[in-house]
């Protein structure tokens, strides 16, 4: 009888140890997944899913673009950089047009990877969580007109501290703006011509 009780107690302890090991493995896997980049569930609201709320104070980071106007195929540098002493460990970077469509076009750098957001290369994110002062990507503008483009970024200082949807200056679609900028002068020219023609007849 006593032997059965001891055996049952031993089995219970082994079961608890086994359960704790499983929990620890799952936890490590979860944390490791965050350290190696954003998850696909972050594609729309760009929130990393760290079980904490995004900061609402001004971000100590900024997004700098090399051009503020593009034509098809242009290469534009995109830099996420700190503006104060706070470094960042993780990031998620997307390009979107005025309609909110995600625009692929980033070229990978060291320790980065694509995140499939609406397309296989719809965003870029980190693959390791070392402290960073800045990261710079090259973005190739779409060959066909997509409207004005803005770069959106999430920057992660640490697991509980991050800022989402940090915006760059707008990159103007020169094809669309060029068409609209020519439209008004042409209209004025037509109106003036018609007015002059009317005066001549009278």
Q: Cβ distance 98 to 171 under 8 Å?
A: no
Q: Is the pLDDT of residue 69 over 50?
A: yes
Predicted confidence band of residue 173 (pLDDT cuts 50, 70, 90):
very high
Q: Is the pLDDT of residue 9 over 80?
A: no
Which residue has tokens 């034509």?
71
Q: Output DSSP code: residue 120.
A: T
Q: Output DSSP code: residue 72.
A: T
**Backbone φ, ψ for residue 9 (5° rounding):** -65, -40
Tell me: the pLDDT tens digits for 177-190? 764 444 444 444 44
Q: What is the pLDDT, as a whole number, of residue 67?
A: 98
Tell me: the pLDDT tens digits for 22-45? 444 444 433 333 577 899 999 999
Q: What percent of the chain has pLDDT over 70?
A: 71
DSSP 35-62: HT---GGGTTT-----SSPPP-SPPSEE
Beta strand spans in the chain (E): 61-65, 69-70, 75-82, 90-97, 106-107, 112-115, 123-126, 134-140, 149-158, 161-167, 172-173
Q: Cβ distance 112 to 126 under 8 Å?
A: yes
Tell me: the pLDDT tens digits for 154-172? 999 999 999 999 999 999 9
Q: Which of 92-96, 104-108, 196-200 has the lowest mean pLDDT?
A: 196-200
């Amino acid at each position: 009888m006593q032997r059965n009780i001891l055996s049952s107690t031993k089995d219970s302890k082994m079961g608890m140890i086994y359960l704790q090991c499983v929990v620890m493995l799952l936890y490590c896997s979860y944390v490791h997944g965050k350290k190696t980049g954003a998850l696909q569930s972050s594609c729309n609201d760009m929130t990393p899913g760290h079980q904490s709320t995004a900061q609402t104070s001004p971000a100590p980071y900024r997004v700098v673009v090399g051009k503020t106007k593009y034509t098809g195929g242009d290469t534009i540098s995109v830099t996420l950089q700190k503006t104060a002493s706070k470094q960042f460990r993780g990031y998620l970077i997307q390009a979107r047009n005025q309609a909110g469509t995600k625009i692929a076009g980033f070229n990978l750098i060291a320790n980065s990877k694509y995140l499939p957001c609406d397309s296989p290369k719809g965003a870029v994110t980190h693959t390791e969580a070392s402290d960073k002062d800045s990261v710079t990507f090259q973005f190739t503008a779409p060959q066909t007109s997509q409207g004005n483009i803005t770069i959106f970024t999430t920057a992660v200082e640490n697991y509980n501290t991050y800022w989402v949807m940090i915006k760059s200056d707008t990159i103007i679609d020169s094809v669309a703006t060029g068409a609209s900028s020519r439209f008004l002068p042409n209209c004025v020219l037509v109106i003036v011509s018609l007015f002059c023609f009317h005066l001549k007849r009278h």
